[in-house]
Structure 1
Amino acid sequence: MLLVGLLGEKRSGKGTFVNFLMQRVKPKSMGRVRSVDVLYETLKIWGIDATRMNLIKLAVAMDGAYGKGTLTEAVRQRIAKDNSDIVIFDGVRWPTDEKLIRSFEKNLIVYVTAGAKTRWLRGLTAGEKVGEDKTTFEKFLEEEGAKTEEFISGIGSRADFKIVNEGSLEDYKKEVQKFCEKFL
């Protein structure tokens, strides 16, 4: 199995990367494990809205209460259950995530990034998280300073492949194709 760690700031295009990649890897099988799904499921069980701030608070609280890498361990367990040829770990955020990825014999880290203004505008229409469509640019920038975001650029500097997603959807597809040609 090839484990691909997918790293990027919020709304940088990680989900779109996965969708494009799924179209290109056939006949190989591809699985996807999102760290945020562990958080979504927990908040849902508790009856708490999955706002970006609630997701951030939960991730930080898990590490604070149970030790660094708690969320990473949950992801590791999900990866271990996936029998796909390629598994995408979508939502790499922590040094423990990077360590997990690099512990696999066949591994890659992909960093998808874009400017803050571009990502904020995408968030206004994406509707993935509760209240995201009403977030002001100032609030968006404030969230950029959250504990869950602080390691992204550092891990990104060690990525095997980087995409700056500032152009059109077609430009982005071409970058994903370059990734496929180089690594798959």
Structure 2
Amino acid sequence: MKKTIIGLVGETGSGKDTVAEYLRDNFGAKLMRFSDPLKDTLSIYFDKLSKDDQAWLYEVFRERFGDDVLTRAIQKRVEDIDAELVIINGLRMPSDYEFVHRFPDSKILYTTAPSELRWKRVAGRGEKTDDNIPFEKFQELDRRSTEVHIPEIGGKADWKIDNTEDLEHLLKEADKIMEELGIERKEL
């Protein structure tokens, strides 16, 4: 079976999780995130996770084990998974981009939106302990070492979705990409 790998890159609140879940629910995609090893580690100690804690832990891991620590952590998962479509969500570093392109039939999708719109979305979802923060703090998080390469990686993406419209528009853009790849909707 041909395996298509799509690496999803996008700033916090840009819609990448929504796209990933849509592709899982409608096209049978298997999902994984570069942050899964961080979340797995932190969830041993805490019930609710913050983006700040994940960024801190990544820095500790990266300093100790190298820039590609998270890519090495998920490589075997990608190789072993039996699926036509695999979504690797949360590319953040140039090494993440390179990792996705190690696989044949790999593509990159960039979702983006203006900072203030993303902040409003994040504040409304309450997913992480630091979601409901002032706009200035949100902008600070956008400048963390874990976030600064996102626009650069997005600039090299095969597709870009400017997620400034409604949910219907975002999902139609995802449908167009699946059509271009020849991946059909699944009855799940």
Secondary structure class of the residue paired with 1:148: coil
Q: Show structure 2 runs of 5+ residues with no match.
A: 183-188
Match of residue 173 from structure 1: 171
Report if aligned partners of 1:24, 1:180 keep a CA contact under 8 Å in 2: no
Q: CA deviation at 1:81?
A: 2.5
Q: Within 5 A, what are the aligned runs for 1:128-167?
A: 128-132=127-131, 134-167=132-165
- Measured after TM superposition, the shift of residue 50 of structure 1 is 1.6
The percent of aligned pairs where both chains have the same amino acid is 33
Question: Deviations along 1:123-177, whole A, 9 cap, x unmatched?
Answer: 1111221131x21000000000000011111111110000000001111122112
The residue that corresponds to 1:90 in the other structure is 89
Secondary structure at the aligned position of 1:147 is classed as coil
Aligned length: 180
Point out where structure 1 has 5 or more consecutive residues left out of the alignment. Answer: none
Question: Aligned-residue CA RMSD in angstroms?
Answer: 1.4
TM-score after normalising by structure 2: 0.90
Structure 1 residue ranges (4+ consecutive) displaced by more than 4 angstroms after TM superposition:
none
Structure 1: how far apart are the matches of 2:141 and 2:171? 28
Task: Indicate the larger mover: 139-148 or 37-46.
Answer: 37-46
CA distance in 1, matches of 2:47, 2:121: 25
TM-superposed CA distance for 1:24, in Å, is 3.9
Structure having the larger proportion of residues in helix: 1
Bigger mean CA deviation after superposition, 104-113 or 47-56: 47-56
Matching residue of 2:186 = none
Q: 1:20 aligns with which of 22, 26, 34?
A: 22
